[in-house]
Amino acid sequence: MTETETSRTESPAQNRPITPFEMIGGVEPIRRVVDAFYDLLESDPQYAELRAMHAPDLAPMREALCGFFTGWMGGSRDWFNARGGFCVMTRHAKMPVTEKTAQQWNDALRAALAAAQVEPGFAAQMDQILTRLAAGMVRGQKNAGI
């Protein structure tokens, strides 16, 4: 066994790939993105249909999306554990998501990533993945590639 292999076995934490959670910089930048996202929904009429699908008080959603992103990106799974698991596709399965409102979700997220000054290359990757995820939530759309 080489020196490198030995230290890998003994200190896996130091050799594991960096998580998206670490890449974005932890909870604080995630919260900035989430707050920017719901601030936009509350203030910009361009997202009116998407806003109307949500409850009047967006405070619980701010907590939920922050907890979701944290766990989904490889940080603390406290939010998932507190719910006994969570499937984002199942949660949205009964919602009347249309191409228009999915587009609004992705547009708002893209704008929020920029407002929160997330590194552009990383923001583009998040945008791409979440665009595919939202496309899979559109009712009647079969193959979104996920």
The yes or no reply on residue 61 touching ligand HEM (CB under 6 A) is yes
H/E element, 126: helix 120-137
The yes or no reply on residue 102 touching ligand HEM (CB under 6 A) is yes
Beta carbon of residue 120, minimum distance to ligand HEM (angstroms, whole number): 20
Identity of the residue, 6 or 88, whose beta carbon is nearer to ligand HEM in the bound complex? 88
Restricted to residues 12-41, the positions that interact with ligand HEM (CB under 6 A) are none
The yes or no reply on residue 134 touching ligand HEM (CB under 6 A) is yes
Give the DSSP letter string of 39-107: HHHHH-GGGHHHHHHS-S--HHHHHHHHHHHHHHTTS--HHHHHTT---HHHHHTTS---HHHHHHHHH
Binding residues (CB under 6 A) for ligand HEM: these are: 50, 53-55, 61, 64-65, 68, 88, 91-92, 95, 97, 101-102, 105, 130, 133-134, 137
